[in-house]
Amino acid sequence: MTGSMLSLSLTWVMLWTPAIFARLIGGVYVDGWNRRKTMVFVAFIQSILFTMIALILSVGLLSVWIIYVASALMGGLVTFFDLFSEAFLPSLLQKKEIMTANSILQSTLQTLGIVGPTVGGFYVTVFGSVQLYSLMH
């Protein structure tokens, strides 16, 4: 958007700082809250946030400050979702399957962390950010 390395760095800081605090705080609540309901609620809030960003992007009003705020919110939400999904996994599997399932899950997440941005960058270059964002959500 701006081509600034500082803006990119601040976006990452805005994403990861809330994620760190969400992990510290969320760990306390993971055993006390209903995991399924919490995950559905967090996913619902994420979908609202993504929809708002898509609308703002489509009318041409997206600014770096909106990206910073969205990054901070998404960092916390994704971390909360991940915490609860990690705690949910053992209730879905037998004890002997947990290690294998965790290995497959982590390998998949690592692969997607590499492949996803590569494919996303290609799509942004070819189709533009509005079309890519609309395709995602």
Among 46, 136, 133, which residue's Cα sits nearest to residue 85? 46
Q: Residues 38-67, buried b or exposed e (16+ Cβ, 10 A)?
A: bbebbeebbeebeeebbeebeeeebeeeeb
Q: Give the integer Cα–Cα distance in Å for 31 and 27.
A: 8
What confidence tens digit (pLDDT) does each residue in 54-113 have?
889 888 898 989 999 999 999 999 998 988 888 888 888 898 999 998 899 889 989 988
pLDDT at 134: 64
DSSP label at residue 94: -
Domain boundaries, the chain: 1-92, 95-137
